[in-house]
Amino acid sequence: MMKTTILLIFITTVLQAVQTNIFQQSPIQAQTYFREGIKQVKRQNYRSAIRSFRSAVQHDPNLGEAYLNLGACYERIGQFENSIPYFEKAISVDNNNPRLVYLFGVALGRNNKRKEAVKYLERAVYMDPRNPDYLYNLGVGYSSLTQYAFAATCYEQAAGIVSNNSAVWYNLGLSKLYLAKTNEAVSAWEKVEIDSPVASPALYYLGLMAYNRHDYKIAMSKIKMSLALKPNSIDAQYLKAILLGEEGKYNQGINLLEKVYLIKQGNEIEKKIALLYLKWAKTAVEQKEYKIALHRYRQAGTYMPENPEIQINIAETAFKTRQYDIVIQALGRAQHTTVTENQEVAVDELREKLARVKKNKK
């Protein structure tokens, strides 16, 4: 598992204490206080743990793992700035230990000190270049700085060491995508295991890439799989709605988009809803169901009221159903928003038709 959390820092510290015999030259009092600190950490009594680790370093000022845990405890209680001197002290008293450098880098990254994080993660990788955790998190650091080429190199090196880690493949795919290497991105995402936490977003991106290739059948298959794993994914729901529109299932697509719109409003979603209503309306026009078409055009207009093309469609369809008041309203809106010569011609023609109708009535 590549992504390190604060709890893993503590657990790893306990294991390291046993495996590397960090107590070999420590006084018995330091050992006792250190173990008590770890016990308090497991109980989430971080302030008590801080007192124990402080006592440990008083008895053994060179106990780097105690300084590490002091820093981690301060971070855990929301005092990251107070934790920094302890992380730095841990590194200074045990400067040949890349793990301490790495964990400080991860902590810096968690607290949005990205440039500083990368500096320490680079140092950790320099000290231990074959450690996949170090490489992975350095890649995450580079990605946070939008240095995607460097990030991709780190992920590729990590994948060469641990080839079955889905987080590595997923992030490698993202880096390749940002580098406009879509085929390599797809290849990386296809290596993500279906039972991994990143399977749903990986499948979403595979669906998105298929959509961009106009391979709508594969796109829908991937999106359905993504939603099966994470039903509340807004991005996947949005893309599924667009794909339903491509299948001619306008009503389903609109219903899904309108649900998405309630959660994540924005001009892009409004445009997509309007576009599906337009396509749906045109199918009604082709079948000469003008009243139904008019209703759908007007629905499109509620999402894009300033769009002249929609207003012209409303006016044309309303004219065919002899709803002249609606024609007048739509032409008035269109007149203020027309941007092309063809649209101006269409508005003028409809006005002439309307004038003839009025004249004949007299």
The pLDDT score that the predictor gives to residue 15 is 35
| pTM for the structure as a whole | 0.82
- Which residue type does 245 have? G
Rounded to whole angstroms, the Cα distance separating 334 from 314 reads 10
Mean pLDDT computed over 57-62:
92
- pLDDT, residue 22, reads 53
Which has the closest alpha carbon to 44: 16, 7, 9?
7
Contact 313, 278 (CB under 8 A): yes
Residue 17 has pLDDT above 50, yes or no: no
pLDDT at 9: 36
Number of neighbours of residue 360 by Cβ within 10 angstroms: 7
SS3 of residue 164 by DSSP = coil
pLDDT at 6: 33
Residue 294 in contact with residue 324, Cβ under 8 Å? Answer: no
Asked whether the predicted pLDDT for residue 305 surpasses 80, the reply is: yes
CA distances (Å), origin 107, targets 51, 110, 116, 339: 21, 5, 10, 54
- What number is the average pLDDT over the span 203-226? 98
Position 293 pLDDT exceeds 80: yes
What's the pLDDT score for residue 25?
62
**DSSP classification of residue 354:** H
pLDDT, tens digit (0-9, with 9 covering 90-100), for 24-52:
566 889 989 999 999 999 999 999 999 99
Most confident of 27-41, 245-259, 341-355: 245-259
Question: What is the Cα–Cα distance from 334 to 301, expressed in whole angstroms?
Answer: 11
Mean pLDDT of 351-356: 89
pLDDT at 7: 36
Count helices and strands in the chain by DSSP H and E runs: 20, 0
Q: What is the mean pLDDT of the chain?
A: 90
Note the pLDDT tens digit of each residue in 83-94: 999 999 999 998
What domains lie within the chain, and their CATH numbers? Answer: 202-264 (1.25.40.10)
Distance in angstroms between the alpha carbons of the first and the last residue of the chain: 82
Which pLDDT belongs to residue 337? 81
Task: Give the pLDDT of residue 85.
Answer: 95
Average pLDDT (104-131) is 95
Residue of higher predicted confidence among 3 and 66: 66
Query: What are phi and psi for residue 144, nearest 5 degrees?
Result: -65, -20
Query: What average pLDDT does range 169-186 have in this prediction?
Result: 97
Burial pattern 170-181, b for ≥16 Cβ within 10 A else e, equals bbbbbbbbbeeb
Q: What is the pLDDT, as a whole number, of residue 360?
A: 76
**What phi-psi label fits residue 40: left (phi over 0), alpha (psi between -120 and 50 degrees) or beta?**
alpha
- Give the model's pLDDT for residue 14: 37
Asked if 70 contacts 86 with a C-beta cutoff of 8 angstroms, the reply is yes
Q: Which residue has the higher pLDDT, 268 or 338?
A: 268
Encoded amino acid at 192, one letter: V
Q: Supply the pLDDT for residue 11.
A: 34
Q: Which of 19-28, 45-54, 108-117 has the lowest mean pLDDT?
A: 19-28
**Is 90 exceeded by the pLDDT of residue 1?**
no
Rounded Cα distance between 292 and 348, Å, is 25
Instruction: Give yes or no for a contact between 231 and 262, defined as CB atoms under 8 angstroms apart.
Output: no
Looking from the CA of 31 toward its CB, the CA atoms found within 13 Å total 10
Got the DSSP string for 230-285? -TT-HHHHHHHHHHHHHTT-HHHHHHHHHHHHHHS--HHHHHHHHHHHHHHHHHHH
CB-CB contact of 112 with 120 (8 Å): no
Sequence letter at residue 319: F
Identify the three-state secondary structure at position 96: coil
- d(CA 327, CA 335) in angstroms, rounded, equals 12
DSSP 306-334: T-HHHHHHHHHHHHHTT-HHHHHHHHHHH
pLDDT at 362: 59
**Minimum mean pLDDT among 57-66, 143-152, 291-300: which range?**
57-66
